[in-house]
Amino acid sequence: MIKNNAVSQIVITGGKGGVGKSTVAILLANQLSTYQKVILVDVDVECPNDYLLLDQTLAKTPNKKIYAKFPVLDKDKCLRCGLCAQKCRFNAIFAPKDKYPIFLHQLCSNCGLCWNLCPAKAIKIKSKITGKIYQNQINTNLYLVTGQTVGIVDETGPLVRQTKKYALDLATKLNVKTVLIDTAPGTHCNVINALLDADHSFAVTEPTPLGAHDLKLILKLNQELKIPTQIILNQSDLGNQKLIQTVAHHFKTDIIHQIPYSKEIVTAYSRGKLNHLTLNGYV
Amino acid sequence: MVMSNFNLVIASGKGGVGKSMLSATLAHYFAKKYRLVAVDADVDTPNLDLWLGGIKHWDQINKISVSQQAFATNKACPDCQNCADICQFGALTLKNDHLHINPFLCEGCGACQELCPSGTIKMKKVIAGQIKIKNNVSGFPLVSAQLYPGQTGSGKIVDRLKQISHKFNRQLTIIDSPAGTSCPVIAALNDANFALLITEPTPTGFSDLKRVLTVVKFFKIPWALVVNKWDINPRQTQTITTWSKHHFLGQIGYDQNIFKAIADLKPIYKTNLPVKQEIKTIYSKLLKRLPVNFH
């Protein structure tokens, strides 16, 4: 569990990509930071973007490096029994009959089954960097924590958890009461890890069948995770709002905020300068 | 080389930049001359069917299991902590002899079961989602899936979709990749013959393009680039096209009517919007780039 009872974790998600998750997360963070300390956490570790939208760069040296364990073979000890390849459930070990196994690190989930199981103790552990965590200060009250994968990483859930943990530790240190967590699109492990332990969530969507379809999936997920979720409808004056209202009704939640198409936001977005925009004015 | 089962993957890194729109419309043009099958590899949030006009009745819907999950049995737990220590996903907690396994975190690796000395943990098959097949959508089959929310294993489902699509034995497989760069994207790109990347002229679009390109280059896949909404920031478009050199293939203009068309589930190829002609031009250029003889 990654939880600190003194800090509320609010997650901004949505299912579909490109609907405005990061924009909403930043506008909300900007607004909250006018009267309290806030940490914005970008856990779209595969494609983190919040720093680009806040006119920031990531430092040459990260604040923290994240490592994962990978198997490497000690040929002198290997019995070529093939047990490791047979037991690996991620097809990450390839062992032709009577030959030495080959480890495919890009498919490896770092689960440790192979080196724990090897009867000859022929599998050594090699730590490889899989992620970096960066910390930026945006203004007096607003901090940004960014998680980013390094190289080809199959399993990104653990890095999401580490990034959240870093942000919660920072919250304790700086006496911050609210962290806003901006997720990747989709519903799989990277998003699940972002949502776990959340106090509240906002699902950002757009008024199209695509937005409605993906919204249903994320609301279903949050129902199972028991996270209260409300909807924020972006580009609300384009498309067909009824589609989203129907989904909201079905899941017994509401659309708490609508953001009409805004040239100002689009321009600021495309220049990477959302620093001074808030949700105000659209409420 | 005469083509069969040629894998063309459409990817972007960033979500919502036009992958599915491009995949659906390209499939329509390819299908006029070639035998193809379309695969929606965005198994979390599949939308390709919607860009093809929406599918009311699928010809086949089958539940799919791609992995197992750990479950605690009634057998007494010796409280050795082996399982909790080895789990890399933080899915197991052991307190006062009581084993709790968080199903949302379990990746099904089986390490806990293998190391449990007392057989307290068993692995059980879980249904991760369903696979859906439509035999004929505008002249070609569509192979799609839906990962159930809360389940893991999207990469393995993508592998399965590709296996199924190859049974159709078509010249071309058009694979619409999910956003991001991890397991389902790696699975989509794994044995691709060509990657068509799409981006938008924003700092985020460009950054995410470079990130997915690391996967494309890792697998040594030839690639080409399309810039969507090029006119929302012509200067950034210029930067991207210059950067991409000979990989640049074409561009699509921003048009709010695209948003309105999809809101009514109207496929691009059934509209008269400029984007239709723009993608047709991209199609013609792409044909010349693909490293195979289509004829």
Model confidence band, residue B3 (pLDDT cutoffs 50, 70, 90): low
A105: left (phi over 0), alpha (psi -120 to 50) or beta: alpha
Domain boundary among A129, A163, A178: A129
Residue A22 lies in domain? 8-56+138-271
Mutation choice for B interface testing from A55, A87, A89 by most B CBs within 10 A: A89
Residue A278 lies in a domain: no
Q: What are the pLDDT tens digits along chain A (283 aa)?
A: 778 888 999 999 999 999 999 999 999 999 999 999 999 999 999 999 999 999 999 999 999 999 999 999 999 999 999 999 999 999 999 999 899 999 999 889 999 999 999 999 999 999 999 999 999 999 999 999 999 999 999 989 999 999 999 999 999 999 999 999 999 999 999 999 999 999 999 999 999 999 999 999 999 999 999 999 999 999 999 999 999 999 999 999 999 999 999 999 999 999 999 999 998 744 3
Residue A19 lies in a domain: yes
Residue A155 lies in a domain: yes
pLDDT at B2: 54
Domain boundary among A129, A149, A166: A129
Chain B residues in contact with A192 by the CB 8 A cut-off are: 104-105, 150, 152
Of B67, B179, B214, the CB nearest to A17: B179
- Give Cα separations from B73 to A63, B15, B82, B101, B120 (angstroms): 42, 41, 16, 11, 5
User: How many angstroms separate the CA atoms of A129 and A173, rounded?
Assistant: 26
Contact A47 B201 (CB under 8 A): no
- Give Cα separations from B251 to A197, A224, B9, B178, B227 (angstroms): 42, 41, 18, 21, 5
Contact B233 A107 (CB under 8 A): no
Q: What is the 3-state secondary structure (H, E, C) of chain A?
A: CCCCCCCEEEEEECCCCCCCHHHHHHHHHHHHCCCCCEEEEECCCCCCCHHHHECCCCCCCCCEEEEEEEEEECCCCCCCCCHHHHHCCCCCEECCCCCCCEECHHHCCCCCHHHHHCCCCCEEEEEEEEEEEEEEECCCCEEEEEEEECCCCCCCHHHHHHHHHHHHHHHHHHCCCEEEEECCCCCCHHHHHHHCCCCEEEEEECCCHHHHHHHHHHHHHHHHHCCCEEEEEECCCCCCHHHHHHHHHHCCCCEEEEECCCHHHHHHHHHCECCCCCCCCCC
Tell me the pLDDT tens digit for each residue of B61-87: 999 999 999 999 988 888 888 899 999
pLDDT at A39: 98
- Give Cα separations from A176 to A51, A180, A200, B75 (angstroms): 20, 11, 17, 45
Residue A46 lies in a domain: yes
Residue A282 lies in a domain: no
In chain B, what are the domains? 6-64+135-289 (3.40.50.300), 67-126 (3.30.70.20)
Q: Are residues A193 and A160 in the same domain?
A: yes
3-class SS of residue B62:
strand
Considering its fold, how many domains does chain A have in total? 2
Q: Which residue has the tokens 């209202």?
A: A245
Chain B residues in contact with A206 by the CB 8 A cut-off are: 259
Contact B114 A116 (CB under 8 A): yes
Contact A207 B263 (CB under 8 A): yes
Checking ipTM against 0.90, whether it exceeds it is yes
Q: Are residues A38 and A73 in the same domain?
A: no
- Chain A residue with CA closest to B180: the answer is A46
Q: Are residues A151 and A260 in the same domain?
A: yes
Tell me the pLDDT tens digit for each residue of B7-40: 999 999 999 999 999 999 999 999 999 999 999 9
Contact B45 A149 (CB under 8 A): no
Of B104, B218, B256, the CB nearest to A238: B256
What is the percent of chain B with per-residue pLDDT over 70, rounded to a whole number? 98
- Closest C-alpha among B4, B18, B85, B14 to residue B278: B18
Q: Are residues A106 and A218 in the same domain?
A: no
Cβ-based contacts under 8 A for chains A and B: 210
Residue A112 lies in a domain: yes
CATH of the domain at A87: 3.30.70.20
The distance of A149 to chain B (nearest Cα, Å) reads: 9
Question: Between residues 89 and 118 of chain A, which touch chain B (CB distance below 8 Å)?
Answer: 89-90, 106-107, 109-113, 116-117
Domain boundary among A129, A154, A170: A129
Q: Are residues A111 and A217 in the same domain?
A: no
- CB-based contact A79:A137 (threshold 8 Å): no
Residue A1 lies in a domain: no
- Give Cα separations from B191 to A238, B5, B7, B117, B210 (angstroms): 39, 11, 7, 40, 20
Q: Are residues A142 and A242 in the same domain?
A: yes
Residue B223 belongs to what H/E stretch?
strand B223-227
Q: Give backbone dihedrals phi and psi of A10, rounded to 5 degrees, phi first.
A: -115, 125
The distance of A277 to chain B (nearest Cα, Å) reads: 18
What is the percent of chain B with per-residue pLDDT over 90, rounded to a whole number? 89
Q: Are residues A114 and A221 in the same domain?
A: no
Contact B150 A187 (CB under 8 A): yes
Q: Are residues A218 and A100 in the same domain?
A: no
Q: Are residues A123 and A242 in the same domain?
A: no
Q: Are residues A174 and A96 in the same domain?
A: no
HSE-CB of B272 using CA atoms within 13 angstroms: 0
Q: Which residue has the tokens 């000690």?
A: A74
pLDDT at A282: 40
One-letter amino acid of A219: L
CB atoms within 10 A of CB A102: 12
Q: What is the 3-state secondary structure (H, E, C) of B175-200?
A: EECCCCCCHHHHHHHCCCCEEEEEEC
Contact B262 A210 (CB under 8 A): yes
pLDDT at B294: 60
Token pair, residue A182, equals 């901006």
CA–centroid distance for B278 within its chain: 23
CB atoms within 10 A of CB A281: 9
pLDDT at B4: 77
Of B86, B108, B204, the CB nearest to A116: B86
Does the CB of A220 have a partner CB in chain B at under 8 Å? yes
- Determine how β-strand A200-205 pairs with β-strand A8-13: parallel
Contact B109 A185 (CB under 8 A): no
Chain A residues in contact with B50 by the CB 8 A cut-off are: 209-210, 213
Q: Are residues A184 and A220 in the same domain?
A: yes
Mutation choice for B interface testing from A22, A53, A188 by most B CBs within 10 A: A188
The distance of B292 to chain A (nearest Cα, Å) reads: 28
Q: Are residues A122 and A194 in the same domain?
A: no
Does the CB of A82 have a partner CB in chain B at under 8 Å? no
Residue A162 lies in a domain: yes
Contact A209 B50 (CB under 8 A): yes
- Chain B residue with CA closest to A111: the answer is B88
- Give Cα separations from A197 to A2, A5, A44, A164 (angstroms): 7, 10, 17, 10
Does the CB of A150 have a partner CB in chain B at under 8 Å? no
Token pair, residue B42, equals 């965005």
CATH of the domain at A195: 3.40.50.300
- Closest C-alpha among B32, B17, B9 to residue B290: B9
- CB-based contact A66:B146 (threshold 8 Å): no
